[in-house]
A = this chain, B = another copy of it.
Amino acid sequence: MNKELLELFQQTRKESLHICKPLEIEDYLLQPADFISPPKWHLAHTTWFFEAFYLSKKEDYSEFDATFNYIFNSYYESLGEKVLRSNRGNLSRPTVQQMMEYRAYVDKKMMDYLQKDELTEKEVEVLEIGIHHEKQHQELLYTDIKYSLGTQPLQPPYKKVFNLDEKQQLPHKWISIDAGLYKVGYDGNGFSYDNETPQHQVYLDAYFISSKLVTNAEYIAFIEDGGYQNVLLWHAEAWDWIEKNQIELPLYWRKIEGQYYNYQLSGLASVDHNLPVNHISYYEAFAFAQWKEMRLPTEFEWEVACNKFDYGKRWEWTESAYQPYPGYKKAGGALGEYNGKFMVNQKVLRGYSVATSQDHARKTYRNFFHPDTQWQFTGIRLAK
């Protein structure tokens, strides 16, 4: 078992560097909004995680640089003072080069221990969480790089030829699910986050769920029917958000001489009518569903039906608020800060997206964001 984990560890660490390869050194520092972290910070923080939760427990480990704990801790209040999130872009030091040396140092030490030790159960758990944590940050690397380049005046492409896996969808049909008691949540043997457990039963009324994500063509129809101007389609807080930010189009879209364009990782391009709409906030997803006189599925409706449709192109907003499952216990200590403390004011997204690490997909996986979040690869599936 050590061996598989070890390979997964190595492959994961390599992948993060691979994602950053097209970047210029200057790009590693970008933080154009508070919710964005600079690529340098992602690479260092995921490394710090292994140092703080794994290596630092070893008596003979000596840390690479004592100041990094303060600098690359993210949100673990219980692990001491940390740099304000909004100041991550103000750290020019350590340099990218020094951060790369830090990664190499930690990788080397991890491999040394992983190769020689019999891992305790706790260590396996920490290692698995560390790997999955880094996979999450790989997705954030894509979303944050896209935002940091796509909101610059020159909108430089990340890579001139670059395609996330955007193959076409199958035709739409309505999938019908009967009323009844269903089991939801994780009970497998592999890795899962604490928020997916315990498995439990829910009762669902009969419902229909679409086999296909809403396309750009459908969303354009909403725009052109005045969807962004019709207050009755929106939540009260959504309307405030629309007005304050003067939102009239999805993130990264522009209308130039009557045509719709959107920024892609390969640069600015015409909106492809057949692709699923992308970078949609929950507020927009809800308003679109209202306009269609349908609704979004709950997270359990989604989970129960998901074997019957294709998913994995977009994170899919559900109507469900992010809340603990019955009997949920959060982990003790600093790791306990991981999921539970975000269980308020956020909506659950299900599935995964073209930017998600493939091993990261799991039908019980619960992603969560505030309802105004747009910079993730998010889309809309309808239910009724």
Q: Contact: B92 with A29, CB < 8 Å?
A: yes
Q: Is the CB of A151 within 8 A of B231?
A: no
Contact B231 A345 (CB under 8 A): no
Nearest opposing residue in chain B for A232, CB measure: B78
Contacts of A149-168 to chain B: CB distance below 8 A? 149, 151-154, 156
Q: What number of A residues sit within 8 Å (CB to CB) of B?
A: 70
A344 to B283 alpha-carbon distance, docked (Å): 9
Please list the 9 inter-chain residue pairs (A to B) with the smallest Cβ-Cβ separation, ordered nearest first. A321-B321, A26-B92, A32-B90, A203-B203, A77-B231, A27-B92, A236-B341, A93-B156, A205-B326
Number of copies of this chain in the oligomer? 4
Task: Provide the residues of chain B in CB contact with A201, threshold 8 Å.
Answer: 203, 205
| Residues of B with C-beta under 8 A to A94 | 154
* A239 surroundings in chain B (CB, below 8 A): 77
Nearest CB on B from A80, distance (A) = 11
Bound together, the chains give a CA A92 to CA B87 distance in angstroms of 17
Knowing A232-B336, A344-B235, say if A95 contacts B321 (CB, 8 Å): no
Residues of B within 8 A of A90 (CB): 30-32, 148, 151-152
Contact A234 B26 (CB under 8 A): no
Residues of B within 8 A of A59 (CB): none
A to B CB contacts below 8 Å, 19 in the list: A24-B95, A25-B95, A32-B90, A67-B153, A70-B153, A71-B153, A77-B232, A78-B231, A91-B152, A91-B153, A92-B148, A94-B154, A204-B326, A235-B342, A235-B344, A238-B344, A283-B344, A286-B344, A319-B324
Chain B residues near A323: list those with CB within 8 A: 319-321
A83 CB within 8 Å of chain B: yes
- With a CB–CB cut-off of 8 A, which chain B residues contact A24? 92-93, 95
CB-contact partner of A236 in B75, B92, B156, under 8 A: B75
Docked Cα-Cα span, A256 to B343, in Å, equals 35
Question: Which B residues lie within 8 Å of A237 (CB)?
Answer: 344-345
Output the nearest chain B residue to A83 by Cβ-Cβ distance: B153
Q: Which residues of B contact A75 (CB under 8 A)?
A: 236
Chain B's closest residue to A32 (CB) is B90
- State the CA gap A32–B336 with chains docked (Å): 32
A200 interfacial by beta-carbon distance below 8 Å? yes
Q: Which of A30, A203, A295 has the most CB of B within 10 A?
A: A203
| CB atoms of B26 and A154 under 8 A apart | no
Give per-residue flags for A1-29: 1 if the beta carbon is below 8 A from chain B beta carbons, else 0. 00000000000000000000000111111
A193: min CB distance to chain B, Å: 16
Interface string of A338-362 (1 = CB under 8 A from B): 0001111101000000000000000
A92: B residues at CB distance < 8 A: 24, 26-27, 29-30, 148-149, 152, 156
A89 within 8 A of B: yes
Contact A235 B343 (CB under 8 A): yes
The answer on a CB contact under 8 Å between B205 and A203 is no
Interface centre among A26, A30, A89 (most CB of B within 10 A): A26
1/0 per residue, CB under 8 A from B, across A217-235: the answer is 0000000000000011011
Whether A258 sits at the interface, judged by CB under 8 Å, is: no
A207: chain B residues at CB < 8 Å are 326
Measured CA separation A237–B78 after assembly (Å): 15
- A26 to chain B minimum Cβ distance, whole angstroms, is 4
Is A170 an interface residue, CB under 8 A from the partner?
no
A195 to chain B, nearest CB (A): 14
